[in-house]
């Protein structure tokens, strides 16, 4: 395991009674390990005040060999608690009270004490569903309360029925600072097989309308959504100052929706709709959002029954409702949608769609430097002529209709050469008209979608040609190694293997500078994690030797991960 800094002897338990007693007596630094096997009807309410250096840890003695079945649920209250390595499956006997089923994991104990700095990671929830008669009862798999909590490196598979998989409640309007990352969401089936039917069938929801005008500062990143169909909102943003980045969506229906709240950033995400009906990209409502460096391919805006949808499209900027209630549609203001790439989407950029009687068009909307290839219906659609103080500039399309004037504000159409097909997604070629075609100045546009550096004369679209970034989208081959259940343990490989690897780190221990060398090949992308699994440093290195500054890291044990291996090192 990775907890080399924790020297506390683990307490091993083999049945529910021993587990309950161990939890009742747990304190800072306690480690409780569960023996292999099937554990039925495990119901834990944990309240421990751990510390950053001495968290309380509840985990499987052998990750993946412990399953919780029947009516099992975990409640976490206190601070610095880590719950990990467990599989939830074969639910039975779940109880509905007022049409609600208790969540599987809740960051709040049975006495309503919230959790702070708590982590749930390396768990797998596999088709842990209520009965058919309960499918319209609200059953949320994970509910987050409190602050600075994390759900990571986990798999959530086969959800059906009403209820989010992860819901950060943001219930009292104070910032949450939650992190949801490196998770795998797959194989959701909507109630009655109707993706346009019941609400509250999303993967992730951050916030609620009643506190939507307050800030959460939650980050949702490096997650993979695959074979997904729930409702129109896969991710539902309902509060302020959240970030959604480096996520991949494949073979799905729905959208990433900025439903309520302001000041969100959406960047570096990949959307592959595989021509599924009702597959969209980013839906925009509210103020001060930034949507940039995203890639959209194969999206289809119509509903499964063939009727039109105003909620879909690759980039959909909606009209607001006059004097909107908190749960309505606020007017779009001061939003920047720049440097995105759209390929083979029947509806590309849409401005002025309406639901709920919205009549207020966007104000001070900037749509710039987006590139659009092969749109079947509308590459760029403006549904309301009056767009106050807004600009559309530097957008480039090849094929498809649009509502812009060619040659005005650097908007242009080209006959060929805009993008080249690649192994997974379309890329810029050396002769693309998008190269150095970017207009305007955007302080946040320092990287491209692959995490290569943007130049002074930057390109249009999500990619900067020749920038050398290698981030790329996730695929099923990444499940269990880079994301999802099992991937956190992939950070920790045997010391025997590490000794034979060609990657070398020195000095040991390190203080201000860490030197990294490799025998011949370039080092490539590196990521440094602390022992809690938090990412503290990333960099792409195109040489076989480099020195990186680590003076900002606290003393302790860290893990440096490359594409093919991991190494531990100590900061003094």
Return the percentage of the chain with pLDDT > 90, whole number: 77
CATH number for the region 496-571 comes to: 2.60.40.3080
Across 146-172, average pLDDT: 96
| More confident call, 486 vs 561 | 486
pLDDT for 4 equals: 35
Across 468-473, average pLDDT: 89
Least confident of 73-77, 385-389, 404-408: 385-389
Least confident of 220-224, 319-323, 564-568: 564-568
Tell me the two tokens of residue 174.
Answer: 């104070």
HSE-up of residue 76 (Cα within 13 Å, Cβ side): 31
Tell me the pLDDT band of 501, cut-offs 50, 70 and 90. very low
Q: How far apart are CA 94 and CA 52, in angstroms?
A: 35
pLDDT higher than threshold 70 for residue 144? yes
pLDDT for 380 equals: 92
Tell me the pLDDT band of 3, cut-offs 50, 70 and 90. very low
Tell me the pLDDT band of 8, cut-offs 50, 70 and 90. low
pLDDT higher than threshold 50 for residue 175? yes
Across 489-509, average pLDDT: 57
pLDDT higher than threshold 70 for residue 502? no
pLDDT higher than threshold 90 for residue 225? yes
pLDDT for 412 equals: 96
Using an 8 Å Cβ cutoff, are 171 and 214 in contact? Answer: no
Q: How far apart are CA 198 and CA 395, in angstroms?
A: 37
pLDDT for 512 equals: 87
Q: How far apart are CA 326 and CA 81, in angstroms?
A: 35
Across 330-348, average pLDDT: 97
pLDDT higher than threshold 50 for residue 1? no
Which residues are CB-contacts of 422 (< 8 A; sequence separation ≥ 6)? none
Strands in 513-517's sheet, in edge-to-edge order, are 504-506, 513-517, 545-549
pLDDT for 497 equals: 33
pLDDT for 233 equals: 98
Q: What DSSP designation does 388 have?
A: B
What are the residues facing 361 on neighbouring strands?
Answer: none
pLDDT higher than threshold 90 for residue 271? yes
pLDDT for 533 equals: 72
Cα dist. 370→246, 293, 350, 365, 445 in Å? 18, 9, 13, 14, 13
Report which secondary-structure segment, H or E, holds 479.
Answer: none
Tell me the pLDDT band of 535, cut-offs 50, 70 and 90. confident
| Structural domain spans, the chain | 233-490, 496-571
pLDDT for 58 equals: 97
Using an 8 Å Cβ cutoff, are 485 and 155 in contact? Answer: yes
Q: Note the pLDDT tens digit of each residue in 58-75.
A: 999 999 999 999 999 999
| More confident call, 281 vs 471 | 281
pLDDT higher than threshold 70 for residue 496? no
pLDDT for 388 equals: 66
What are the residues facing 540 on neighbouring strands?
Answer: 525
Least confident of 228-242, 326-340, 372-386: 372-386
Across 541-564, average pLDDT: 84
Q: How far apart are CA 72 and CA 66, in angstroms?
A: 13
Least confident of 6-10, 200-204, 394-398: 6-10
Least confident of 166-180, 199-213, 399-413, 534-548: 534-548
The angle formed by the CA atoms of residues 156, 162 and 167, to the nearest 5 degrees, is 55
pLDDT for 130 equals: 96
pLDDT higher than threshold 50 for residue 18? yes
pLDDT for 95 equals: 96
Using an 8 Å Cβ cutoff, are 166 and 151 in contact? Answer: yes
pLDDT higher than threshold 90 for residue 427? yes
Nearest CA to 335 out of 276, 281, 287 is that of 287
Cis peptide before 509 (omega within 30 of 0): yes
Q: How far apart are CA 539 and CA 320, in angstroms?
A: 41
pLDDT higher than threshold 70 for residue 541? yes
pLDDT higher than threshold 90 for residue 296? yes
SS3 content of the chain, % helix, strand, coil (to 5): 5, 40, 55
- What mean pLDDT value characterizes the chain? 92
Tell me the pLDDT band of 356, cut-offs 50, 70 and 90. confident
pLDDT for 5 equals: 38
Least confident of 90-104, 262-276, 277-291, 477-491: 477-491
pLDDT higher than threshold 50 for residue 345? yes
């Amino acid at each position: 395991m990775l907890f080399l800094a924790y020297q506390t002897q683990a307490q091993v338990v083999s049945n529910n009674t021993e587990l309950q007693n161990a939890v009742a007596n747990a304190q800072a630094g306690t480690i409780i390990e569960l023996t292999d096997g099937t554990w039925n009807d495990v119901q834990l309410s944990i309240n421990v005040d751990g510390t950053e250096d001495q968290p309380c840890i509840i985990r499987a003695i052998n990750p993946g060999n412990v399953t919780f079945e029947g009516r099992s649920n975990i409640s976490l209250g206190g601070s610095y608690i880590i719950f990990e390595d467990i599989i939830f499956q074969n639910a039975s006997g779940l109880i509905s009270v007022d049409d609600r089923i208790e969540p599987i994991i809740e960051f709040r104990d049975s006495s309503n004490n919230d959790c702070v700095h708590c982590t749930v990671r390396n768990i797998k929830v596999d088709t842990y569903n209520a009965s058919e008669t309960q499918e319209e009862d609200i059953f949320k798999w994970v509910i987050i309360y409190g602050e600075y909590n994390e759900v990571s490196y986990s798999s959530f598979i086969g959800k059906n029925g009403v209820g989010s998989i992860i819901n950060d409640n943001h219930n009292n309007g104070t910032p949450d600072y939650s992190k949801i990352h490196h998770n795998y969401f797959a194989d959701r089936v909507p109630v009655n097989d109707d993706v346009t039917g019941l609400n509250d069938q999303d993967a992730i929801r951050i916030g609620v309308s009643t506190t939507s005008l307050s800030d959460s500062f939650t980050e949702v990143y490096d997650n993979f959504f695959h074979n997904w169909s729930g409702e129109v909102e896969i991710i539902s943003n309902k509060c302020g100052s959240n970030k959604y980045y480096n996520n991949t969506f494949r073979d799905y229906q729905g959208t990433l929706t900025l439903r309520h709240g302001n000041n969100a950033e959406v960047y570096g995400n990949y959307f592959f709709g595989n021509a599924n009906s009702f597959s969209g990209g980013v839906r925009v409502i509210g103020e001060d959002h930034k949507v940039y460096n995203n890639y959209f391919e194969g999206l289809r805006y119509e509903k499964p029954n063939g009727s039109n949808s105003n909620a879909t499209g690759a980039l959909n900027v909606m009209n607001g409702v006059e004097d909107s209630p908190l749960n309505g549609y606020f007017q779009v203001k001061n939003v920047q949608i720049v440097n995105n790439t759209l390929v083979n989407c029947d509806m590309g950029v849409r401005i002025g769609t309406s639901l709920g009687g919205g009549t207020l068009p966007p104000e001070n909307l900037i749509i710039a430097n987006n590139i659009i290839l092969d749109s079947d219906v509308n590459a760029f659609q403006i549904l309301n002529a009056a767009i106050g103080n807004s600009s559309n500039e530097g957008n480039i399309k090849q094929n498809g209709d649009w509502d812009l004037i060619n040659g005005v504000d650097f908007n242009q159409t080209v006959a060929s050469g805009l993008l080249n097909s690649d192994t997974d997604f379309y890329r810029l070629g050396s002769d693309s008209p998008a190269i150095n075609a970017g207009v305007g100045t955007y302080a946040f546009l320092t990287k491209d979608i692959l995490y290569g550096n943007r130049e002074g004369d930057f390109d249009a679209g999500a990619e900067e040609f020749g920038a050398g970034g290698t981030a790329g989208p996730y695929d099923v081959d990444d499940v269990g190694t880079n994301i999802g259940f099992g991937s956190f343990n992939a950070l920790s490989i045997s010391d025997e293997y590490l000794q034979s690897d060609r990657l070398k780190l020195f000095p040991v221990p390190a203080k201000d500078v860490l030197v990294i060398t490799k025998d011949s090949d370039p080092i490539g992308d590196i990521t440094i994690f602390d022992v809690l699994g938090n990412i503290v440093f990333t960099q792409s290195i195109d040489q076989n030797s480099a020195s990186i500054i680590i003076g900002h890291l606290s003393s302790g044990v860290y893990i440096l991960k490359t594409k093919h291996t991991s190494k531990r090192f100590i900061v003094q």
